[in-house]
Chain A
Amino acid sequence: MIGFNVLVLVCLAYAALLFVVAFAAEKRAERGTVGWLRSPLIYTLSLSIYCTAWTFYGAVGYAVRSGLEFVTIYLGPTLVMVGWWWLVRKLVRIGRAQRITSIADLISSRYGKSTLLGVIVTLLAVIGTTPYIALQLQSVSLSFSVFSAEGGAMPDFEALDNTALVVAAGLALFTILFGTRSLDVNERHHGVVTAIALEAVVKLIALIAVGVFVVWGVAGGPAEMMAQIDASKIAEWQLDGGRWATLIFLSAAAFVCLPRMFHVMVVENADERHVAVASWAFPLYLFAMSLFVIPIAVIGLSVLPGENPDLYVLTVPLALDQDSLAMLSFLGGFSSATSMVIVAAIAVSTMVSNHIVMPIWLSARQGGASMSGDVREVVLLSRRISIGAVLALGYLYFRLSGGGAALAAIGLIAFAGVAQVLPALLGGLFWRGATRRGAAIGLTLGFAVWAYTMFLPSFGDSFVLSAAVLADGPWGIGWLRPHALFGIDGLDPVVHAVFWSMVINSSGFFLGSLFSFPAPLERLQGAQFVNIDDHVRNAPGWTHSPAEAEDLLIMAQRILGPAEAQAVFEAEARAQGKAGYLPNPSPDFVERLERQLAGSVGAATAQAMVAQITGGASVSVEDLLAVADETAQIMEYSSQLETQSQELSRTAAQLREANEKLTQLSIQKDAFLSQISHELRTPMTSIRAFSEILMAGPMSEADQTRFSTIIHDEAIRLTRLLDDLLDLSVLENGEVSLNWQDANLHSVLDRAVAATSSMDGERPLAIRRDARAEDVALVTDPDRLAQVFINLIANARKYCDAEAPELRIEVTSGEAGVTVDFVDNGAGIPKASQSMIFEKFARLTDQGRAGGAGLGLAICREIVAKLGGDIGYLPDQGGAAFRVTLPAAQAKAAE
């Protein structure tokens, strides 16, 4: 027989082992050799805190009462893990990207870092967890009492109580020691996780050992076992379809929403690939844990009929004198209870600290986190106190409930309570339209319905709800009866409560979301959560903050600790190319810092703290667009399209322009060619006609002379035309080389007048000049300039239609240069034609007489332009008047 003292000794030794393991793991992690501490195996084993004492002891009792139904509690989590690709993978990704610290933090963060939602979920978690912790304490003290009873020394209730108290205190110590060593969750609780992994192994081995013992040792083999099962009263169990489906759903929901499960599954997760392994390994663990439940129950019923079936795992080996097996079983139960309590305390205390204590503390000291006090200490302290408070609450609950049967039912009640988070969680993960208000309404309604239909009635008629209310509804309103809402009677209470709470919760959540509009930050976070697979980058909580790097550093030091904060800042400064500890507080950096802080104090608190320094928590339109990725993508795409279409239309315009130019050029070329053709063919025609006439035969001497003269003249006209064409082409193509030299305007004009007067056969033209005015020094090409003057004088000679043709050449020199006007006394050029006389082939009248091709003025214009001057027609001068403007000699020289 194992004495009570031995039991206590073993228990203490086991606890010491846990401490040592946790401590060693912490040390190992500190040295940086995490290794197997973060393996898929450890991750899977840590998930096993799902199997609490309620599983270890309670499953058998459950099986005795309800047959196979107990497996539903493990089928739900199996489905969740097997379907990891849907939900757990996403949760883990979001948890890592957003540095989520708890399920309350997840909900709060998703709905715009809402403090209110954080508080609601935290309260829910506290209310759901406290009885559960009490249940664990009860199971431990009950198992103690079993041994004590066996040992003969029957401890009184006081002693049981003390056991629970000692256990609670020990757990608080362990949890505070290893659960609040570091603040940043990214460092994670290596010690705790390793210890609970060890405990997971112990409880699995214990349960399987008991199972193997009853199947092979007691029943005599699997076949006999099956026969015994069929013979036992468990075989008579009738499956309740509603409960079966509801409990599978409920356990799946609770598996995701339970604070401790969320903690090990998401917060403590180190690698997404671990989830993949756990997807089959954890169901396997559950499978193994469930395999021997029915056999143990059946054997228990046959060996110890009438005893408490909840303790068969312990009492059956004891009754069959298997002391060491019983001891192992006891340790398994102890492990189940303690691991659950430890993780639950960490998870809930984190929530309480981050979502209730810190916001209150922050608002209480409006001065700002950076001004005074060590936030790090405050956070750690608040967390330690929270752990103590949670465990104290659990103990208190245990004391007050008196360890009665009410406690045994608390498992499902707690499940249903935390499952109220499910709609807001799933909606937040998969539905962009989910809003803070919807989540708050859904949570509150679901919470209320759960409390009314399930939680409060669980206390019986002694607490809040009187027997009358339970039986007839409040104020006698029948359709409000807690177990028959809306008059739906006859449902199993669990099914009833789960059904109504989830329906009302989901409806409130859905409708509330539909009829509310999310704040910018909410939309931002919503996009990030729902589209976690598409982008990993976090949303900036603010933009272009004028935050002082120093203030941020001071604050970060208080939360992260000086060494780590300085390392972070120094790394950032180095990345920015700066020396020292103070980087520029770029939005990017501030955002990362906030996430880092969020790992310690939760998203909402971190944001509030940083916002106190940066002075704003607003989200700019640009941020929204940048992160609401569909919008951003659409915007970008459409702006690209717009740019492209702009480019296209620009190109099209250019093409059109080019085409127009080409067309214009082509028209010009056509016109030019046809002009050339005309100008060439016309003299040719005369030449050919008259030469044929001459060839044809005899004619008078006079005719002969006349015709040959025409041929001669036309030949000269042709030659001149070709000369002009070549001249113009050279000028236009810029190939002309000008012979710049000093020249006197007077002498150039002299040359031009002499050249024109030598032309034969023209009418006399009087030329009036002013020699003194003409005495102007020029730097020019005298030959080209003379060509221009000759052209102008020849034109006057040709076209001046006055009785006594006269040409005045007037020279004016001034600052800007020299102007030379050629004004005759003829009729001048009609206004309509003045604009086109300088164009090629512009001939105003038939002037076949002298045979200009209409290129003269065009050539003049080109030459004068080349000489740096200008030529134009002067209207209203009494006759045709041309003005040649030449740059001053100085100007030319100065160039």
Chain B
Amino acid sequence: MGKRVLLIEDEPNIIQAIGFILSRDGWTVDTHADGKTALAEIARRGPDLVILDVMLPNRSGFDILQDLRADPATEALPVLMLTARGQKRDRELAERYGASRFMTKPFSNAEVLDSVRELAGS
């Protein structure tokens, strides 16, 4: 398939896990760990899909999402949001700001794969 995913996440083990799962499924996985520079990275890489953690160093995932949606170039970019805080409010915020999908950690691998496939396919 050769589609490219940009994983923006700061926890190394989780990066490894998602990276392993997706690349085994044939995705090209790029990773980025800093919130502040995430937008630039997205623009540079031009991924088909972004997996975005909420709690990032230096900048919140919600802020990044808002900027993405505000920019016409990335308006329609599929974004899968991840959060470990698991509160209802986070899910509501994500929906309001226009996340394509929202997942709470810990997730099952199959769930992540399905979501990524679905989002990229649509």
- Complex CA–CA separation, A132 to B119 (angstroms): 126
Of all chain A residues, which has the CB nearest B87?
Answer: A674
**Pairwise interchain contact A688-B108, C-beta atoms closer than 8 A:** yes
Chain A contacts for B109, CB-based, 8 A: 689, 692-693, 696
Give complex CA distance A678, B106 in Å.
10
Known: A677-B85, A677-B86. A848 touches B57 (CB 8 A): no
Tell me which of B18, B55, B107, B108 contacts A678 (CB under 8 A): B55
Interface membership of B40, Cβ < 8 A = no
- Within 8 Å CB of A713, what residues of B? 13
Interface residues of A in 671-688 (CB under 8 A from B): 674, 677-678, 681-688
Tell me if A758 counts as interface (CB < 8 A to partner B). Answer: no
Q: Is the CB of A846 within 8 A of B10?
A: yes
Instruction: Return chain B residues, CB-CB under 8 Å to A696.
Output: 109
The answer to whether B57 touches A682, judged by C-beta atoms less than 8 angstroms apart, is: no
Contact B57 A846, beta carbon cutoff 8 Å:
yes
A686 touches B85 (CB 8 A): no
Q: Is the CB of B86 within 8 A of A690?
A: no
Interface residue count on the B side (C-beta < 8 Å): 24
CB distance from B60 to the nearest CB of A (A): 13
Q: Tell me, yes or no, whether A205 is within 8 Å of chain B by CB.
A: no
Contacting residues, chain B, for A226 (C-beta < 8 A) = none
- Let me know if A685 and B107 touch, CB within 8 A: yes
With a cutoff of 8 Å between Cβ atoms, the chain A residues found around residue B55 in the complex are 678
B105 beta carbon closer than 8 Å to chain A: yes
A684-B12 in contact (CB<8A): no
Majority SS at the chain B contact face: loop
Shortest CB-to-CB span from A696 to chain B, Å, is 7
- The answer on a CB contact under 8 Å between B16 and A710 is yes
List A178-222 residues whose CB lies under 8 Å from chain B: none
Contacts of A682 in B (CB 8 A): 11, 14, 84, 105
CB-defined contacts of A674 to chain B, threshold 8 Å? 85, 87
Q: Inside 8 A of A685's CB, which chain B residues have their CB? A: 11, 13-14, 17, 84, 105-107
- Asked whether A686 and B84 contact (CB < 8 A) given A846-B33, A846-B57, A848-B11, the answer is no
Q: Which of B11, B104, B108 contacts A686 (CB 8 A)?
A: B11
CB of A31 closer than 8 Å to a CB of B: no
In the bound assembly, the distance between CA atoms of A674 and B85 in angstroms comes to 5
Contacts of B77 in A (CB 8 A): none
Cβ contact of A687, chosen from B18, B57, B84, B106, cutoff 8 A: B106
Contacts of A714 in B (CB 8 A): 13
Nearest Cβ on chain B to A676's Cβ, whole angstroms: 9
Q: Quick one: CB contact mask for B42-60 with A, threshold 8 Å, 1 for yes?
A: 0000000000000101000
The size of the chain A interface, using a CB distance under 8 A, is 23
A831, CB-defined interface residue at 8 Å: no
Decide: A681 and B106 in contact? CB cutoff 8 A: yes
Whether the pair B33, A681 counts as a contact (CB closer than 8 A) is no
Is B13 a contact partner of A684 (Cβ separation < 8 A)?
A: no
- Cα of A688 to Cα of B104 in the assembled complex, Å: 13
Looking at A689, A692, A710, A846, which has the most chain B CB atoms within 10 Å of its CB? A689
Chain B residues with Cβ below 8 Å from A772 are none
Partner of A688, one of B20, B85, B86, B106: B106
- Return the contact of B17 from the options A677, A690, A845, A849 (Cβ within 8 A): A690
Give min CB distance, B88 to chain A, whole Å.
Answer: 11
Whether A689 pairs with B17 at a CB distance below 8 angstroms is yes
User: Are B13 and A710 in contact, CB atoms less than 8 angstroms apart?
Assistant: yes
A-B contacts counted at CB < 8 A amount to 70
Distance from B89 Cβ to chain A, minimum over Cβ atoms (Å): 9
Cα–Cα, bound, A689→B18 (Å):
8
Interface centre among A687, A688, A692, A714 (most CB of B within 10 A): A692
Check A678–B57 contact: CB distance below 8 A.
no
- Contact status A693-B105, CB under 8 Å: no
Q: Return chain B residues, CB-CB under 8 Å to A710.
A: 13, 16
Give the CA-CA distance A207 to B38 in the complex, in Å: 128
Residues of A within 8 A of B106 (CB): 681, 684-685, 687-689
Measured in the bound complex, the distance between the Cα atoms of B10 and A845 in whole Å is: 10
Which positions 488-527 of chain A face chain B at CB distance < 8 Å? none
CA distance A689 to B13 in the complex (A): 9
Give bound CA distance, A806 to B110, whole Å.
46
Answer whether residue B21 sits at the interface, using C-beta atoms and an 8 A cutoff.
yes
Q: Which residue of chain A has the shortest Cβ distance to B33 in the bound complex? A: A846
Whole-angstrom distance between the Cβ of A673 and the nearest chain B Cβ: 8
Chain A residues, Cβ within 8 Å of B20:
693
Determine if B17 and A848 form an interchain contact, defined as CB atoms under 8 angstroms apart.
no
Most buried by A among B13, B21, B108: B13
Chain B residue numbers with a CB within 8 Å of A845 are 57
Residues of A within 8 A of B86 (CB): 677, 681
Q: Which of A631-690 contact B (CB under 8 A)?
A: 674, 677-678, 681-690
Contact B12 A681 (CB under 8 A): no
Q: Which of A678, A684, A689, A692 contacts B85 (CB 8 A)?
A: A678
Contact check, A686 vs B57: say whether CB atoms are below 8 A apart.
no
Q: Contacts of B33 on A, CB cut-off 8 Å?
A: 846
When C-beta atoms are compared, the residue in chain B nearest to A684 turns out to be B106
Asked if residues A693 and B84 are in contact (CB atoms below 8 Å), the reply is: no
The CA-CA distance from A687 to B55 in the complex, in Å, is 19
- How many Å lie between the Cα of A681 and that of B85 in the bound state? 7
A639 CB → nearest B CB, Å: 50
B17, B21, B57, B108, most chain A CB atoms within 10 A:
B17
Interface string of B86-110 (1 = CB under 8 A from A): 1100000000000000001111111
Instruction: Please tell me if the beta carbons of B13 and A686 are within 8 angstroms of each other in the complex.
Output: yes
Q: What is the CA–CA distance of A848 and B86 in the complex, to the nearest angstrom?
A: 19
Cα(A687)–Cα(B85), bound, Å: 17
Q: Which residues of A contact B16 (CB under 8 A)?
A: 686, 710
Among B20, B86, B105, find the residue whose CB has the most chain A CB atoms closer than 10 A. Answer: B105
Within the complex, what minimum Cβ distance (angstroms) separates A752 from chain B?
28
- Partner of A689 from B10, B12, B21, B84 at Cβ < 8 Å: B21
Complex alpha-carbon distance, A693 and B20, angstroms: 9
With A678-B55, A845-B57, A848-B10 known to touch, is A686 a contact of B17 (CB < 8 Å)?
A: yes
B17–A681 touching, CB < 8 Å: no
Name the distance in Å between B120's Cβ and chain A's nearest Cβ: 20
The answer to whether A686 and B87 touch across the interface, beta carbons within 8 angstroms, is no
Given A684-B105, A692-B109, check contact A677 B87 (CB 8 Å): yes
- Min CB distance, A682 to chain B, in Å? 5
Chain A positions 239 through 272: 1 when the CB is less than 8 Å from some CB of chain B, otherwise 0: 0000000000000000000000000000000000
B residues with a Cβ closer than 8 A to A are 10-14, 16-18, 20-21, 33, 55, 57, 84-87, 104-110
Q: Can you list 23 A-B contacts (CB < 8 A)?
A: A674-B87, A677-B87, A678-B55, A681-B84, A682-B11, A684-B105, A685-B84, A685-B105, A686-B14, A688-B107, A688-B108, A689-B107, A689-B109, A690-B13, A692-B108, A692-B109, A693-B21, A696-B109, A713-B13, A845-B57, A846-B33, A846-B57, A848-B11
Task: Give 6 A-B pairs besides A685-B14, A713-B13 with Cβ atoms closer than 8 angstroms.
Answer: A674-B85, A677-B84, A686-B14, A687-B106, A693-B20, A846-B57
A-B residue pairs, 6 tightest by C-beta: A689-B17, A686-B13, A681-B84, A685-B105, A685-B106, A688-B106
